[in-house]
Each structure stands twice: as C-alpha cells, then as structure tokens.
Amino acid sequence: MFLEPLCTPPSHVVQHKTPTIETSYGVIGRRSPAPRLKRLTQYFEKWYNHMPAEKVRNRLGSEKFDSYLKISTIRDPYDYAISFFHEYMSLRKVKISDDVQTRRAEFVKFINGRWTNQLHLLTIGNEIVVQRFVRLEHFHQDLENIVTEVGAQAEQLTLPFVKINKKRSRNLTDYYDKPTAKIVRSHMNWVFDRFDYPTKIIGI
C-alpha cells in the first residue's frame, strides 16, 4: 500500500481493499477478498495479494521480473506465529480465550498443526528471489532506505495503518512454552538464519 502510488495513475486513492488494477503505470494485485473467496481468487484473478513469486514471474515474464527490485516484509518469527494464530482464529470466528493458560493451550495446538512459514511465496526453486526486506521492528528506517534506492519522492507516499490488533497480548510468554518455541525456531529457521532475531524467549 505504501508503494502503490508508484504503480498507479496520479489521481489514484489507496485503499486497503482493492480489486486488481492493471494500467500503464503498473500492477496492483487484488487485496482482501472475503475469506470464503480467497481460494477462488487464486484461480480466477490474474494478480492478487500474497501471490507466490513463481506465479508473478510466469505472468509478468522472466525478463521483466528479473529486472525489478523484489521487496517483502518480515518480522520476528515468534511474533509472526502469534499474529498468524490470531488471524487463523478470526477467520474461523473462534474467540480466543482471555485466560492465559487456555490461550496458550490453543496456541500450542495451532503450532503443532499445519501453518506456513511463507517461504513458498518468496522462492523460485530453492532460491529466495526477494532482494530487500522491510523488518517490522525497523519499519520506517527500512522503508526510507528503499524509497531512497528506488529514487521515489517521499511526498508521493503515505504510510497507511491497517490490521491493527489491539486485543492480542504482546507478551510472548502468554503463548509459548519451550517445546512450542522449538517448533517455531525449526519451522522459521530461514528467518533466524538471515536476520538477527533472538532465538531465545526470555522467561520460558
């Protein structure tokens, strides 16, 4: 959403939910379809949010894809897993317990199930094709570096705030025990290997 003005006509207004936009200025993938339509979107939309890099290259063409700077976001894997858990429960309209022990049990069950580490979105073959990552914990600095690199004018761009979850606890120990932390470390090892996120959770 932050970079969207660089890929749309000057009169365009950035909104969280948007249909696919394809003009001479660039491409914006469809964002935020209704949950029951998400899977269908992947089959019927040419461009959509969270689209795997391989599909983007196939539809854009290798020459153009290879010439572009590929950017994605990243966050602390422990925090990412909690955020994913809350989204998963919200989409299924399941209320997360306010009781810490019950919530931790729900989270442990989730982590022991199937959930994505997002690597399939960022790789082609076994290679990560994203060249620049915006870290949530250093959001403004990383965005500023990218704006400078691509030669954009800062006044063109406005940072929107969406998907703010004020209800979730920010205390990792409200969710994790040692076995669960070990699973996340293993599942998200590609992030821990590339970034300086701490592997230990203080307090467990």
pLDDT of residue 42: 60
Count of structural domains, the chain: 1
Task: Tell me the two tokens of residue 178.
Answer: 């040692």
**Cα distance between residue 80 and residue 16, in whole Å:** 20
Domain with 120, as residue range(s), is 52-194
Residue 1 lies in a domain: no
pLDDT of residue 101: 95
Sign of torsion, CA 23 29 32 35? positive
Residue 124 lies in a domain: yes
Residue 199 lies in a domain: no
Residue 46 lies in a domain: no
Q: 10-residue block means of pLDDT along the chain (204 residues)?
A: 91 91 95 62 78 96 96 96 94 92 96 96 96 94 91 74 69 96 98 96 94
Q: Closest Cα to residue 121, out of 69, 172, 168, 55?
A: 55
pLDDT of residue 123: 98
pLDDT of residue 154: 65
**Cα distance between residue 34 and residue 91, in whole Å:** 10
pLDDT of residue 108: 97
Residue 7 lies in a domain: no
pLDDT of residue 157: 77
Residue 86 lies in a domain: yes
Residue 30 lies in a domain: no
Residue 32 lies in a domain: no
